[in-house]
Amino acid sequence: MSQPESSTVRLKVSPEVARIVKPGAPRDAQLAAARGALPLAGKDLLTVLFFLCRSGDAEIKKSAVKTLRELPATILSPLCKDESLHPQLLELMVRARMADGDLMGAVIMHPAVTVKTLLYLAQKAGAEVLERLAGHQNMLYENPEIVEAIIANPAAEKALKLKLGWQDPEEITKQEPPQEDSEGDEETDEDGRSPTEIEALMEEADREGMSKYQIAMDLTVSEKIKMGLTGDKEWRSIMMKQSNKLIQGAVMNNPRISDGEVLMVAKAKTSSDDLIRIILLNKDWVKNYEIKKALLVHPKTPPPKALRYVSFMTMKDIKGMAKSKQLSNIIANAVRKELAFRIKKTGG
């Protein structure tokens, strides 16, 4: 899990590092260290470079930055296995080695990496690193601002943005041909039908006894998206049955959608990867036990995410799942292990 930010850098250093970076240390020693010419272990070398990259001596600073950018990944990558590595050292690696996909993958998964560092990556990194960042689902779930930053990054591939819930505005215009603007000063939507015209359509439908389903058949894609975003429960139900993922996504973003409706989506085996992903990214929804249970057994839930919910299940549900033949091997094995653990723990 990413760490909160701190305004003060407190970095415990070894005696070897202290002798090089302390005030009044010989310039020759600092310059040699900045050039990577001193026999320092990986963590000590990174720590020294961290301080020397901030040096007021331009030559030392330039040399330290150059060394950091040219260090073999075989020196830096093992450091990411050290859980005690200071967050500032992780940020230093990000700023100096952002193009190194494998190294950034290790930094992203480090338990001490800060939200600030991950957000910087989301804003500045290239496509390969963004793919790795988007794969860290737990982090995205807890920090939706990082999802927004990835989507806004010009280097993000369209396929990746779609996976994260982005809706391409061009898709709407592709679904329906543009219509001529109606005459008059009244504001119209992108399909040429004004808000009052839509209201009039509803009133006429009510007078004629038409159902909302019949009304929906006359709506354009853009209007259906608007109904999904703003409509009542009946409208949300109708729009969720549409095959267009933009319309379904609009329903999930309707502020009035209830946990019960979300649970129905989570239980439906036909729900798409995109819908399941939207649910997973909403921390309020996944606090609901029944939604957790539905996500755990849903075939579209990524196994790493689903496995997080096993320990939350009641003993009754664990026993039921252990007998199920509908679960994937990964989930089924995890459930059986959890059941065996609880039986052993309780002695029966």
Tokens 């609901």 -> residue: 288
Residue 141 corresponds to which amino acid?
Y
If asked whether residues 216 and 101 sit together in one domain, one would say no
If asked whether residues 227 and 293 sit together in one domain, one would say no
pTM of the model: 0.51
CB contact at 8 A, 248 and 162: no
What local confidence, expressed as pLDDT, does residue 162 receive? 80
Q: Which residue has the higher pLDDT, 227 or 338?
A: 338
What local confidence, expressed as pLDDT, does residue 89 receive? 94
3-state DSSP: the chain helix, strand, coil percent, rounded to 5? Answer: 65, 0, 35
If asked whether residues 39 and 110 sit together in one domain, one would say yes
If asked whether residues 77 and 138 sit together in one domain, one would say yes
Residue 118's nearest CA partner among 100, 130, 102 is 130
With 50 as the cut, is the pLDDT of residue 186 above it? Answer: no
If asked whether residues 63 and 124 sit together in one domain, one would say yes
If asked whether residues 148 and 237 sit together in one domain, one would say no
Residue 60 falls within a domain, yes or no? yes
Residue 82 falls within a domain, yes or no? yes
Burial class (CB in 10 A: 0-12, 13-18, 19+), 277: buried
If asked whether residues 28 and 147 sit together in one domain, one would say yes
With 50 as the cut, is the pLDDT of residue 341 above it? Answer: yes
Tell me the per-residue pLDDT of 54-87, one tens digit each, with 9 for 90 and over.
Answer: 899 999 999 999 999 999 888 999 999 999 899 9
If asked whether residues 133 and 218 sit together in one domain, one would say no
Give the domain-ending residue among 257, 273, 298: 257
What local confidence, expressed as pLDDT, does residue 294 receive? 96
Residue 124 falls within a domain, yes or no? yes
The per-residue pLDDT of the chain, averaged, comes to 84
If asked whether residues 300 and 225 sit together in one domain, one would say no
Q: How confident is the model at residue 219 (pLDDT cuts 50, 70, 90)?
A: confident
Residue 207 falls within a domain, yes or no? yes
If asked whether residues 24 and 154 sit together in one domain, one would say yes
The domain containing residue 223 runs over which residues?
193-257
Q: Is 114 helix (H, G, I), strand (E, B) or coil?
A: strand
If asked whether residues 296 and 242 sit together in one domain, one would say no
Tell me the per-residue pLDDT of 165-179, one tens digit each, with 9 for 90 and over.
Answer: 676 666 544 544 444
Which residue spans within 235-325 are E strands per DSSP? none
Residue 205 falls within a domain, yes or no? yes
Residue 267 falls within a domain, yes or no? no
Q: Which residues, 6 or more positions from 200, have their beta carbon under 8 angstroms from its beta carbon?
A: none
- Tell me how far apart the alpha carbons of residues 229 and 251 are, in angstroms, rounded to a whole number: 5
Tell me the per-residue pLDDT of 125-179, one tens digit each, with 9 for 90 and over.
Answer: 999 999 999 887 667 756 778 888 888 899 999 888 887 767 666 654 454 444 4
With 90 as the cut, is the pLDDT of residue 12 above it? Answer: no
Q: Can you give the length of the chain in residues? A: 348
Q: What are the DSSP calls for 172-213, one per residue? A: HHHHS---PPPSSSS---TTS--HHHHHHHHHHHHHTT--HH
CB contact at 8 A, 173 and 190: yes
- Tell me how far apart the alpha carbons of residues 110 and 80 are, in angstroms, rounded to a whole number: 6
With 70 as the cut, is the pLDDT of residue 203 above it? Answer: no
Instruction: Read off the tokens for 317.
Output: 């549900």
Identify which of 42-51, 154-163, 207-216 has the greatest average pLDDT: 42-51
End-to-end distance of the chain based on CA atoms, in angstroms?
35
If asked whether residues 303 and 245 sit together in one domain, one would say no
Percentage of the chain beyond pLDDT 90 is 53
Residue 181 falls within a domain, yes or no? no
Instruction: Read off the tokens for 30.
Output: 């600092």
With 70 as the cut, is the pLDDT of residue 261 above it? Answer: yes
- Tell me how far apart the alpha carbons of residues 295 and 309 are, in angstroms, rounded to a whole number: 8
Tell me the per-residue pLDDT of 316-331, one tens digit each, with 9 for 90 and over.
Answer: 999 999 999 889 899 9
What is the number of domains present in the chain? 3
What local confidence, expressed as pLDDT, does residue 152 receive? 87
Residue 216 falls within a domain, yes or no? yes
